[in-house]
């Protein structure tokens, strides 16, 4: 069942130079228990979209439906009750530095009808859930970045929300700590059946734990689908840049890496192959050599895991007669392999 449903949602702001369209005609649904990623570069409209989801902004047009409720019509007590069902994780943690770990986690419960002992017991359960046993009385200044974010996650879960919104929650962390926090979120999703929406500019975050992804550019959703499908067969240029930055290390400094390699390897044609699932373990290179009169120079390759399956990326140089190279490219496509050819 769809827990989140956005129907033709737009959000405009009035500025000095006229109307600014931050979000434009956005449509997507998030199923209950799903981890849904929204990825885009700075200025794509991701932060505005978060504020629409948690009711901090109302859409200029369209509907934001959360659990079949139109968020825009809520006000007063109903809006406050609704916001308790949305947990928020922030990039810079937003902890109170004068409060201990257990006090920070229990903070959202202070306006509830729970007794102090009940609030403390709930906070202790959450401390155990996020792996911070023994740090209950520590202050934020005594914690690492990853530990601070674990406190933020525990605090976001205090009111037993239906949805967890993570707004660039790993951007301030190093790669190893990022993976640890993502593993924790995946574990929470499985244990609690919690729906998670991740806002990020890092495709690694999407690949590691998301089930589905929407790619934003200039306020619009330009591509969306299952993570494996989007990674293995990106359609839009912005999506291809994101995927290349995650699958091919060199492209982090050169998003047009295929064309760069095509210029560097002038003897043949540079081709990027993408394999899904079991095809990642298929002896496709030996097959093409047997069927076509080409030489294959493997430049780079790797296999990566998503939440649901695996996919492989291989960059090769094909040399030989032009017609044989074209035949080899056709052979790859016939075998169900994704093919992208560098432009010389």
CATH of the domain at 293: 3.30.70.260
Same domain, 44 and 180: yes
Q: Where are the beta strands (DSSP E) in the chain?
A: 2-15, 18-31, 35-39, 61-66, 69-70, 86-89, 163-167, 195-200, 212-217, 220-226, 269-276, 294-305, 310-320, 338-341
* pTM summary value: 0.79
Residue that finishes a domain, picked among 216, 238, 260: 238
Q: What is the mean pLDDT of residues 133-149?
A: 94
**CB 232, CB 57: distance < 8 Å:** no
Which has more pLDDT, 156 or 296? 156
Determine the pLDDT at residue 254: 46
Same domain, 252 and 213: no
Same domain, 111 and 195: yes
Determine the pLDDT at residue 255: 46
DSSP character at residue 48: H
Same domain, 216 and 275: no
Provide the number of structural domains found in the chain. 2
Same domain, 142 and 224: yes
- Check which CATH number belongs to the domain holding 197 and give it: 3.40.50.300
Same domain, 252 and 229: no
pLDDT grade for 260, boundaries at 50, 70 and 90: low
**Rounded to an integer, what distance in angstroms lies between the CA atom of residue 48 and that of residue 21?**
10
| pLDDT tens digits for range 189-230 | 999 999 999 999 988 899 889 999 999 999 999 999 999 888
Same domain, 171 and 202: yes
Q: What is the mean pLDDT of residues 283-302?
A: 84
Q: Residue 41: is its pLDDT beyond 80? A: yes
**Rounded to an integer, what distance in angstroms lies between the CA atom of residue 337 and that of residue 167?**
35
**Rounded to an integer, what distance in angstroms lies between the CA atom of residue 326 and that of residue 336?**
16
In order of 70, 85, 303, the CA distances from 194 in angstroms are 21, 11, 29
- Domain extent at residue 278: 248-341
């Amino acid at each position: 069942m769809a827990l989140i449903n956005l129907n033709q949602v737009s959000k405009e702001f009035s500025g000095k130079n006229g109307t600014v369209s931050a979000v434009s005609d956005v449509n997507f649904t998030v199923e209950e228990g799903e981890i849904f990623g929204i990825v885009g570069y700075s200025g794509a409209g991701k932060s505005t979209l978060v504020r629409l989801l948690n009711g901090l902004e109302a859409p200029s047009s369209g509907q934001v439906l959360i659990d079949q409720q139109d968020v825009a019509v809520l006000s007063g007590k109903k809006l406050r009750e609704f916001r308790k069902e949305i947990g928020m994780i922030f990039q810079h943690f937003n902890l109170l530095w004068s409060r201990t770990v257990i006090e920070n986690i229990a903070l959202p419960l202070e306006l509830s009808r729970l007794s102090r002992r009940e609030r403390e017991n709930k906070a202790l359960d959450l401390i155990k859930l996020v792996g911070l046993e023994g740090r209950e009385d520590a202050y934020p200044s005594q914690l690492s970045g990853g530990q601070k974010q674990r406190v933020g996650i525990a605090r976001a879960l205090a009111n037993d929300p239906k949805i967890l919104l993570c707004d660039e929650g790993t951007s301030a962390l190093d790669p190893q700590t990022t993976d640890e926090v993502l593993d924790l979120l995946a574990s929470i999703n499985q244990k609690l059946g919690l729906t998670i929406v991740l806002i990020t500019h890092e495709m690694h975050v999407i690949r590691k734990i998301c089930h589905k992804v929407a790619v934003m550019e200039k306020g619009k959703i330009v591509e969306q689908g299952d993570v494996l499908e989007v990674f293995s067969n990106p359609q839009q240029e912005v999506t291809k840049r994101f995927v290349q930055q995650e699958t091919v290390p060199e492209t982090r400094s050169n998003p047009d890496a295929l064309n760069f390699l095509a210029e560097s390897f002038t003897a043949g044609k540079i081709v990027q192959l993408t394999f899904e699932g079991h095809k990642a373990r298929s002896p496709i290179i030996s097959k093409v050599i047997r069927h076509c009169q080409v030489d294959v120079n493997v430049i780079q390759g790797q296999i990566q895991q998503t939440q649901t399956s695996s996919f492989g990326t291989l960059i090769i140089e094909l040399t030989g007669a032009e017609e044989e190279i074209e035949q080899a490219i056709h052979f790859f496509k016939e075998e169900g392999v994704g093919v992208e050819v560098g432009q010389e």
